[in-house]
Each structure stands twice: as C-alpha cells, then as structure tokens.
C-alpha cells in the first residue's frame, strides 16, 4: 500500500470519495424514510442544532447589519421606482385633466353650435396662438383656406361668439376676437328684441352694447345674442341667435340719445383651446367681403 | 500541507466552522436576492494550499456535513464538492499559479462548479417541478459574490492553515538562526 505512487494514491482517494458519495446517494434514495441513513441524518441534525443556534445568534448582528444595508438599498431602489411611477402618473393625470378640459370645451362648443341654423357648416379648429397685447385681441387657429376657412367667417367658442376670421393662409387663420378694437357685432337683447351694436371696452373685460334707444327698458341679466340682420344686400356676418353674453349694467346718460349697456361675454376668450369657424350659415356660403357689423 | 494530526485537526475545525457558519449565519444574508456560499470557497482555498487530495477530502467532508445539517440527500453535496476540490487541487498541482488576485477566478470557478454541478445533480435526482429562469440569475449573482468574497476568505484560510503549510514564503522560520554571541547573522 505504501509503495503506491502519489498519483495512484490521489486517484484512489478520489475514486473512494466519489464511490462513497454515490453509494450514499443510492442507499439514501432506495431506503425508506425511517431507514438507517435518514436516522443518521436526523441524529446529526440534532447534534449540530446547538452549534447552529449558537452560530446563528453570534452571527445575527452582522446579518442584521448586512440586512439593513440590503433594506436601505432596496428602499432606495423602490424609492427611485416609485418616484418614476409618480412622475408617470403625474404626466397621465395632467394629460387626463387636459383631455377633460378639452372635452368640456368641445361639449360646450357643440351646445353653442346647436344655436346655428340647421344646415350651417362648421370647422372645428384648435387655438395655436394668442395675441399677447390688449390692443390686438387676436388668436391664431390651425385651420385655413384648405379647410374652407375664409375671411369674415364667424367664429364661435364654448359659451358663445368669439370673433371673426380676419386673415387666412393655407393651413391656419387669424381671428379677431369680439374684444378686439376693430370688432362690431349687431346684437339684440332677448327676449325684448332690442337691437344695438356690440363693441369692445378697450382695456376692460366687458363689451358695450351701444345704440340702444332710451325708451327700451333693459334689465340686468338679460341675454344678448347676435341679431343676424338682413336688409336688402346688407347682411350681418354673424348668423342670428349666437349667444354673446348677458347684460351687466345699464348706463343712462341724460345727454346721450342712446343708452349704453355693459355686457359680460359668455365666452372665456382668454382660455380658449378650441373654436368653430362657421363656414356656411345655411343660406349661403360666408365669403370674404368688407367688414360689416 | 504537512500531513500531521495538527493539520487534520485544523482542517476538521475549518470544515465544521465553515459549514456551521454557512448554514446558520451566511445563509441568512441576502444580497441582491441571493446569498453567498462559503463552502466552495473553503474547498477552493484548501485546493490551492494543499492540493487535490486534501481538497477532495475537505470537499467530501463539507458536502457530507451540509447534507446532514440541511437534510438534503446524503452524498449529493459531497459528490459535487469532492469533484470541485479535486479539480482546484489538480489545477494548483499542475500550474502552480501564484498571483495576488488568484482567489477571484478560483473562487468563481469553484462556486460555479458547485452550483452548476449541484443543480445538475438535483435535476437528475428529484426536481420535477417547473424551474424559473431566475435560478440562473441567482446562480450568477452567487458566483460573482463569491468571487469578491474569495479575496477575504482565501487569505483568512491561508492564515489559519499557515502552520501546516510547506515552503510558504510568508511563513516565519520556526527557529531563527543562532550562533555564538556576537556572530549571529553572519551565518557561521
């Protein structure tokens, strides 16, 4: 035995160890649970149990420390993940709020367009730019000549009348709001049917309904709509019955022939996202021409 | 290693301490969802220090103790760890590598051999259910963790076994050269 070379001895040891392992495996799997090897295993487990308990207790602080580090790492990772999720959700929330706002505006716009003549045609457009000055109350919309938009066509928005088209390109158009200094709209007070001209109050928020006869009894809260008058060749740009606003106050100056009525516009002209251009008021195509009240 | 009773006692203590520490302590630590495994590192370190025969015996002993302690099929771990220890030991005997970072590849290779071998054996023996792909991820993380841990474990085991090592350049000579008073250091 001792004369064996180191190589043989090494190989013999390996072979023996592997063989023992294989025998153990074979016996372990072939014997029942109550067999000898299983019993030895249970006994060894019992014997090692105190050692394991001691080691576990001794190792616990270190394990807790590593666990704490791991927990902190996990918490950081989770925090990062949650932040990303919150960011996404905020984006979704903003998108939903925008969608809701736009849906409300479109719904209100539909209600206004219901006041138009039965076979009137409209083009819905998105407001893409607002004039930044108080002197030129204009907006730019994303529909133009190619969509049938022409100069002087009336524009409505959620709440009521917004203005008229003053310039077009192929893909967009500029709209002068009813608060623009150049604007003048023939209107009448409902239900009395008193007519006048709506003009903007420069620098103010309200509109002025002028040329109302003094003997007309105008009351606060009465509704002002477009009159859509027609007199021979002369015809208003705006179809009849589009809501403009409601009477806020009445100014009766003794020296004036007419009374001036302050009107609060229904349309929120500073926060419009969508408008509708009335391309046909039902009777005839609204086409370019000289600005008329 | 010199085959003295002290060496065997140290190896036995190493096996017992390593397995108990692994089973009762290290196994409770979860890093990146898995835990490091000291046992293949112990077997690999002994293979580098003592060669194939010592490593095979230590691998067998560690495996048997693990199987006994954890109630696993007896012989499964010992079969794989014996092969791992023998392979590392043979590598040391044939190549005699000496590099400061050697524990990293040896630790990784020993761990890879153990986890892959044990997984293969488990498949052959009794695993019948579906296996998640995350098993592979855990195996890879264990190998990487052990590769790093080897830088700590290998020097500790070398230090623990230093008295039994033959020709270890770091080992302090047992008897300092002496000579007549006044002539020490002159190698007379």
Instruction: Quote ipTM for the complex.
Output: 0.77
| B186 domain residue, yes or no | no
Note the pLDDT of residue A293: 42
Is residue A154 within 8 Å of residue A286, measured between CB atoms? yes
Residue A41 pLDDT level (bands cut at 50, 70, 90)? confident
Asked if residue B156 has pLDDT above 90, the reply is: yes
Total domains in the fold of chain B: 1
Task: Enumerate the residues of chain A whose CB falls inside 8 A of the CB of residue B52.
Answer: 10, 14
Tokens of A54: 């001691």
CA–CA distance, B28 with A58 (Å, rounded to integer): 12
Query: Does B178 have pLDDT greater than 70?
Result: no
**CA distance linking residue A192 with residue A222, whole number of Å:** 9
Does residue B101 lie within any of the structural domains? yes
Distance CA A179, CA A204 (A): 9
> Domain span at residue B52?
11-163
* pLDDT digit string, tens, across residues B57-93: 999 999 999 888 887 888 989 999 999 999 999 999 8
Look at residue B18 and tell me if it is in a domain.
Answer: yes
Is residue B176 included in any domain, yes or no? no
Residue of B nearest to A49 (CA): B69
Give the span between the Cα atoms of A71 and A99, in whole angstroms.
Answer: 40
A118 has pLDDT over 50: yes
Which of A15, A17, A18, A78 is the best substitution to test chain B (most B C-beta atoms within 10 A)? A17
Are the C-beta atoms of A24 and B74 separated by less than 8 Å? Answer: yes
β-sheet bridge partners, residue A197: A186, A210
Write down the pTM of the prediction.
0.52
Is B89 within the bounds of a domain? yes
Tokens of A24: 């153990």
Q: Which two tokens stand for residue B146?
A: 């052990």
Q: How confident is the model at residue A79 (pLDDT cuts 50, 70, 90)?
A: very high
Least confident of A114-128, B54-68, B164-178: B164-178
**Mean pLDDT value of segment B122-140:** 74
What is the band of A211 on the pLDDT scale with cuts at 50, 70, 90? confident
Contacts of A48 in chain B (CB under 8 A): 20, 23, 65, 68-69
- Domain annotation covers residue B173: no
In a domain, B80, yes or no: yes
CB contact under 8 A, B67 and A41: yes
Structure tokens at A224: 């002002």
pLDDT at B106 > cutoff 90: yes
Query: Is the CB of residue A67 less than 8 Å away from at least one CB of chain B?
Result: yes
A125 or A205: whose pLDDT is higher?
A125
Per-residue confidence (pLDDT) for residue B59, from 0 to 100 = 95
A137-178, pLDDT tens digit by residue? 788 888 888 999 999 899 998 888 889 998 888 888 889 888
Q: Looking at residue B136, what is its pLDDT? A: 84
Q: What is the CATH number of the domain that holds B126?
A: 1.10.1760.20
CA distance B153 to chain A (A): 16
Among left, alpha and beta (phi > 0; psi -120 to 50; other), residue B185 is: left
Residue B50, in any domain of the structure: yes
Mutate to test the interface with B, among A11, A14, A19 (most CBs of B within 10 A): A14
What is the average pLDDT score of chain A? 81
Helix axes B38-50, B76-95, angle to 10 degrees: 40
């Amino acid at each position: 035995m001792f004369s064996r070379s180191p190589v043989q001895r090494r190989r013999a040891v390996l072979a023996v160890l592997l063989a023992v392992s294989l025998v153990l495996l074979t016996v372990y799997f072939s014997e029942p649970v109550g067999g000898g090897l299983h019993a030895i295993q249970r006994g060894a487990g019992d014997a090692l149990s105190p050692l394991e308990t001691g080691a576990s207790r001794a190792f616990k602080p270190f394990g807790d420390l590593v666990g704490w580090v791991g927990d902190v790492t996990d918490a950081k990772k989770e925090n990062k993940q949650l932040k990303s999720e919150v960011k996404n959700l905020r984006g979704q929330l903003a998108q939903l709020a925008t969608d809701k706002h736009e849906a409300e505006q479109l719904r209100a716009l539909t209600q206004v367009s219901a006041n138009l003549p039965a076979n009137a045609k409209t083009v819905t457009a998105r407001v893409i730019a607002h004039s930044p000055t108080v002197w030129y109350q204009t907006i730019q919309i994303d529909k133009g000549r190619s969509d049938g938009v022409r100069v002087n066509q009336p524009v409505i928005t959620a709440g009521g009348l917004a203005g008229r088209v003053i310039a077009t390109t192929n893909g967009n158009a500029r709209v002068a709001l009813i608060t623009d200094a150049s604007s003048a709209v023939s209107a009448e007070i409902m239900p009395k049917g008193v007519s006048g001209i709506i003009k903007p109050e420069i620098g103010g928020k309200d509109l002025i309904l002028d040329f109302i006869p003094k003997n007309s009894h105008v009351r606060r809260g009465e509704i002002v709509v477009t009159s859509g008058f027609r007199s021979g060749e002369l015809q208003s740009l705006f179809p009849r019955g589009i809501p403009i606003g409601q009477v806020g106050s009445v100014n009766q100056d003794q020296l004036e022939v007419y009374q001036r009525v302050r009107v609060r516009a229904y349309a929120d002209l500073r926060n419009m996202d969508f408008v509708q251009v009335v391309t046909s008021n039902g009777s005839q195509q609204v086409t370019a021409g000289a600005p008329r009240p | 290693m010199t085959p003295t009773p002290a060496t065997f006692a140290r190896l036995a203590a190493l096996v017992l301490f390593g397995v108990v520490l692994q089973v009762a302590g290290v196994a409770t630590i979860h890093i990146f969802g898995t835990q490091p495994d000291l046992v293949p590192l112990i077997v690999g370190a002994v293979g580098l220090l003592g060669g194939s025969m010592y490593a095979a015996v230590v691998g067998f002993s560690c495996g048997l103790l693990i199987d006994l302690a954890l109630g696993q099929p007896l012989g499964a771990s010992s079969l794989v760890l014996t092969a791992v220890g023998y392979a590392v030991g043979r590598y040391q005997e044939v190549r005699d590598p000496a590099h400061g970072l050697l524990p990293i590849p040896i630790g990784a290779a020993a761990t890879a051999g153990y986890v892959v071998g044990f997984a293969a054996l488990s498949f052959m023996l009794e695993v019948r259910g579906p296996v998640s792909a995350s098993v592979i991820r855990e195996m890879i993380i264990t190998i990487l963790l052990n590769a790093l841990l080897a830088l700590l474990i290998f020097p500790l085991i070398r230090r623990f076994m230093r008295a039994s090592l033959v020709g270890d350049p770091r080992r302090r000579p047992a008897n300092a050269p002496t000579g007549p008073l006044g002539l020490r250091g002159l190698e007379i």
